[in-house]
């Protein structure tokens, strides 16, 4: 074994022993290398290896520390990106839920307006139908009244015409009787005249 390897072995052994409680916690809690305490410990371990490696001129230990530090930095970036992605996902989910809720409210509002418009249209149609029926009934009543008035007037005219006819016939009969009486009177006058003439001739 080279003398230069002794600090490296001692550092590794010491960190392995110091890491034992963290290893137990990782096992119990089922954590991985991205766990924050693990990354913090490995960052300290990487820097310590670099310091020790430079102190004893162990390039391999320095390089190991640099690689481990780079690993922890990358794990930190990955954790940060994952956390950011999780936050972005939560924000996106919240935004989507808000949009979904807003869309649902808009659909309900539009459906309500459509129902109100339909009810208003139905009510308007019912009112127009009622008005039309009332107008038709009024016109029918007026027509019936007009027809009744017309029939009454016609009946009155017929009665008056019959009455006038009867009166005319009566006048005609009366006139005819008067004519007969006048003719009779004329004949009687003629007879008296003839009789008077005959009497004068006889004398």
What distance in Å separates the CA atoms of residue 126 and residue 202, rounded to the nearest whole number?
A: 111
Does 201 fall in a domain?
no
pLDDT of residue 174: 85
Q: Is residue 77 part of a domain?
A: yes
174 in any annotated domain: no
Exposed, middle or buried, 49 (CB in 10 Å: 0-12/13-18/19+)? buried
158 within a domain of the structure (yes/no): yes
The string of DSSP letters for 89-116 reads HHHHHHHHHHHHHHHHHHHHHHHHHHHH
Q: Identify the pLDDT of residue 1.
A: 44
Q: What does the pLDDT look like over 73-93, one tens digit per residue?
A: 787 777 777 778 888 888 888
The rounded percent of the chain whose pLDDT value lies above 70 is 80
User: Does residue 172 belong to any structural domain of this protein?
Assistant: no
Give the chain's domain count: 1
Question: Does residue 104 register a pLDDT over 80?
Answer: yes
Question: How high is the pLDDT of residue 164?
Answer: 84
Q: Is residue 189 in some structural domain?
A: no
Q: pTM score, two decimals? A: 0.35
56: domain range?
1-166
In a domain? residue 194: no
Distance of alpha carbon 39 from alpha carbon 73, whole angstroms: 8
Quickly count: other Cβ atoms within 10 Å of residue 21's Cβ.
10
**What is the predicted pLDDT for the residue at 103?**
85
Residue of higher predicted confidence among 122 and 6 = 122
Indicate the burial class of 45 (C-beta count within 10 angstroms; 0-12, 13-18, 19 or more): buried
Does residue 129 belong to any structural domain of this protein? yes
């Amino acid at each position: 074994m080279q003398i230069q390897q002794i600090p490296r072995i001692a550092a590794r052994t010491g960190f392995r022993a110091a890491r034992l409680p963290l290893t137990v916690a990782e096992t119990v809690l089922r954590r991985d290398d991205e766990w924050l305490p693990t990354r913090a410990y490995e960052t300290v371990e990487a820097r310590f290896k670099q310091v020790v490696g430079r102190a004893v001129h162990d390039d391999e230990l320095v390089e190991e520390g640099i690689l481990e530090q780079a690993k922890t930095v990358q794990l930190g970036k990955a954790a940060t990106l994952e956390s950011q992605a999780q936050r972005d996902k939560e924000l996106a989910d919240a935004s989507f839920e808000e949009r979904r809720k807003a869309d649902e409210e808009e659909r309900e509002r539009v459906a309500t307006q459509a129902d109100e418009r339909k009810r208003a249209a139905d009510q308007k149609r019912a009112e127009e139908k009622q008005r039309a029926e009332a107008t038709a009934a009024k016109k029918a009543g007026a027509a019936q009244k007009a027809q009744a008035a017309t029939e009454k007037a016609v009946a009155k005219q017929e009665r008056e015409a019959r009455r006038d006819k009867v009166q005319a016939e009566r006048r005609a009969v009366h006139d005819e009787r008067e004519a007969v009486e006048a003719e009779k009177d004329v004949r009687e006058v003629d007879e008296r005249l003839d009789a008077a003439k005959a009497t004068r001739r006889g004398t």
